[in-house]
């Protein structure tokens, strides 16, 4: 498990054992992401090409695909490509594998791109956009692509208890 911190550092958090519920994270010896990305939604993945590390980070309706480049001057991040959501979309989460990028917007829509080996998107527009048909009162947190091709979303909703207190409850939706 790779994690991108709000300060732009990349950490590795290996899960030990099949039922592991805790992980000990350690910062990787790679440069932090450029400060221009701030605390934007991001994800990191290991790839078999280049330096072996790729990061996808969202700013506004744009998602930049960065690759760690190593040369005589050391290592630095360079843009391998970018994709765009509709202008009014606000990105809440980014998830990726070596060949796909899934971006969750504030309205719960999930935008999927297929990626080439070099990290560039196969097409300019999302190859698939999945819009939830259930409840606009949810606060969408993230989404992931299941092996079946279906999209699973994490959301939260306010629910009132018998005592009248409101609590934020998580939901997994397929």
Longest dimension (CA), the chain: 65
In the chain, % of residues over pLDDT 90 = 32
CA 31 to the chain's CA centroid: 19
Task: Find the mean pLDDT for residues 79-93.
Answer: 87
- Which uninterrupted H or E stretch holds 28? none
Cα torsion through 143, 37, 76, 6, rounded to 10: -70
Own/partner long-range contacts of 97-104 (Cβ < 8 Å, ≥24 apart): 97/45, 97/145, 98/45, 98/47, 98/48, 100/145, 101/56, 101/63, 101/65, 102/143, 102/144, 102/145, 102/151, 103/58, 103/63, 104/140, 104/141, 104/142, 104/143, 104/153
pLDDT band at 50 (very low <50, low <70, confident <90, very high): low
Which pLDDT value is given to residue 37?
A: 83
Task: Find the mean pLDDT for residues 71-89.
Answer: 87
pLDDT band at 35 (very low <50, low <70, confident <90, very high): confident
Which pLDDT value is given to residue 49?
A: 60
Residue predicted with more confidence, 20 or 128 = 128
Residue 121 carries which DSSP code? Answer: B
Q: Would you say residue 129 has pLDDT above 80?
A: yes
Task: Find the mean pLDDT for residues 47-64.
Answer: 82
Mean pLDDT, all residues of the chain = 86
Q: Would you say residue 22 has pLDDT above 90?
A: no
- Which uninterrupted H or E stretch holds 152? strand 151-160
- The structure's pTM equals 0.84
For residue 71, list its beta bridge partners: 74
């Amino acid at each position: 498990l790779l994690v991108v911190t709000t300060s732009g550092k990349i950490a590795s958090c290996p899960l030990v054992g099949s039922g592991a519920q805790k992980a000990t994270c350690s910062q990787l010896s790679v440069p932090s992401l450029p400060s221009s990305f701030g605390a934007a939604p991001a994800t990191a993945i290991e790839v078999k090409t280049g330096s072996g590390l790729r990061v996808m980070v969202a700013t506004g309706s744009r998602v930049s695909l960065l690759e760690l480049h190593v040369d005589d001057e050391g290592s630095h991040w360079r843009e391998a490509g970018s994709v765009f959501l509709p202008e009014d979309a606000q990105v809440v989460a980014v998830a990726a594998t070596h060949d796909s990028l899934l971006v969750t917007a504030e309205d719960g829509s999930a935008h999927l791109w297929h990626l080439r080996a070099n990290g560039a998107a196969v097409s300019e527009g999302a190859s698939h956009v999945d819009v939830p048909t259930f409840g606009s009162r949810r606060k969408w947190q993230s989404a992931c692509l299941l092996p079946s091709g279906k999209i699973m979303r994490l959301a939260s909703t306010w629910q009132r208890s018998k005592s009248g207190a409101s609590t934020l409850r998580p939901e997994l939706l397929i």
